[in-house]
Amino acid sequence: ETGVTQSPTHLIKTRGQQVTLRCSSQSGHNTVSWYQQALGQGPQFIFQYYREEENGRGNFPPRFSGLQFPNYSSELNVNALELDDSALYLCASSLGGGNEKLFFGSGTQLSVL
Amino acid sequence: EDKVVQSPLSLVVHEGDTVTLNCSYEVTNFRSLLWYKQEKKAPTFLFMLTSSGIEKKSGRLSSILDKKELFSILNITATQTGDSAIYLCAVVDYGNNRLAFGKGNQVVVIP
């Protein structure tokens, strides 16, 4: 158990809706990264937040946005949901923006109908 | 763009067998290679490798990196049913803060 918690665990939305996913980082960790894992694929980097600032972004459109709060917890927001957004969304925390050793949460399984 | 290819994508073995998983990569400015085990949802950290030829071991699992030939191997000896999982390989480039993952090696261990 890593100490990284995500909510909700499962979510069903319809196309065009908006969704907010939440993540609490491991105690002492100031960096949160978000990954999208489609079925049968490896996780794909969405973005990283370090001390409340975005610190790197992958190839995802602007409708994927995020926040990090002073307690280092984080939110991932997705607007105008598309069917292809159906995936497992993983949050990972680490100590320091350049630390590659990530501790993952159990993810939020999002289904878009 | 960083590229990670894992093979085989899936395999089925019997308890007690030895498993060898392969990860080859292309990266502009190599920093590190990591292995994770994903049983249900949360990937859990296994190894981080930065130097060639130095084997990392943890119980029945071991891993080694070859920076000249651009690959890593993860070995599991005396497999148990609890080793059934997806094993993810990822590389990190000095130029960014992200892990670039392969598709994973799905291992099924049958009694």
Tens-place pLDDT, residues B59-104: 999 999 999 999 999 999 999 999 999 999 999 988 777 899 999 9
Average pLDDT of the segment spanning A70-77: 95
Helix (H, G, I), strand (E, B) or coil at A65: strand
The least confident of A93-97, B45-49, B86-90 is: A93-97
Residues 6+ apart with CB under 8 A from A68: A32, A49, A50, A51, A52, A53, A74
Task: Give the pLDDT of residue A95.
Answer: 87
Query: Searching chain B, which residue's CA lies closest to the CA of residue A108?
Result: B41
Q: Do A85 and A111 touch, CB atoms closer than 8 A? A: no
Q: Judge whether residue A1 has pLDDT over 70.
A: no
What is the C-alpha separation between A2 and A103, in angstroms, rounded? 6
Q: How far is A52 from chain B (nearest CA, A)?
A: 15
Task: Check B42 against A33: CB less than 8 A apart.
Answer: no
Residues from chain A contacting residue B43 (CB–CB below 8 Å): 43, 90, 104
Residue B59 buriedness (CB in 10 A; 0-12 / 13-18 / 19+): exposed
- Of the candidates B21, B101, B19, B33, the one whose C-alpha atom is nearest the C-alpha of residue B70 is B33
The least confident of B17-21, B54-58, B70-74 is: B54-58
Q: Judge whether residue A111 has pLDDT over 70.
A: yes
What is the C-alpha separation between A4 and A35, in angstroms, rounded? 14
Helix (H, G, I), strand (E, B) or coil at A113: coil
Nearest CB to A101; choose among B4, B48, B97:
B48
Instruction: For A8-67, write each residue's pLDDT tens digit.
Output: 999 999 999 999 999 999 888 999 999 999 999 999 999 999 989 999 999 999 999 999
Average pLDDT of the segment spanning B2-19: 96
Q: Do A22 and A6 touch, CB atoms closer than 8 A? A: yes
Average pLDDT of the segment spanning B32-60: 93
Average pLDDT of the segment spanning A81-93: 97
Helix (H, G, I), strand (E, B) or coil at B3: strand
Q: Do A56 and A104 touch, CB atoms closer than 8 A? A: no
B104: left (phi over 0), alpha (psi -120 to 50) or beta: left
**Cα angle, residue A23 at apex, residues B93 and A91 outer, rounded to 5°:** 30
What is the C-alpha separation between B48 and B34, in angstroms, rounded? 4
Residues 6+ apart with CB under 8 A from B105: B6, B7, B8, B9, B10, B11, B21, B22, B74, B86, B87, B89
In whole numbers, what is the pLDDT of chain B averaged over residues?
95
Q: Mutate which of B1, B25, B41, B50 to disrupt the A interface (most A C-beta within 10 Å)?
A: B41
Both tokens of B42, joined, read 């949360």
Q: Mutate which of B23, B35, B99, B103 to disrupt the A interface (most A C-beta within 10 Å)?
A: B99
Q: Which residues, numbered 35 to 64 in chain B, qualify as contacts with chain A under a Cβ-Cβ cut-off of 8 Å?
A: 36, 40-45, 48
Quickly state the pLDDT bin for B53 (edges 50, 70, 90).
confident
Quickly state the pLDDT bin for A98 (edges 50, 70, 90).
confident
Quickly state the pLDDT bin for B2 (edges 50, 70, 90).
confident
Beta bridge partners of A10: A109
Residues from chain A contacting residue B31 (CB–CB below 8 Å): 100
Task: Give the pLDDT of residue A100.
Answer: 83
A66 touches chain B (CB under 8 A): no
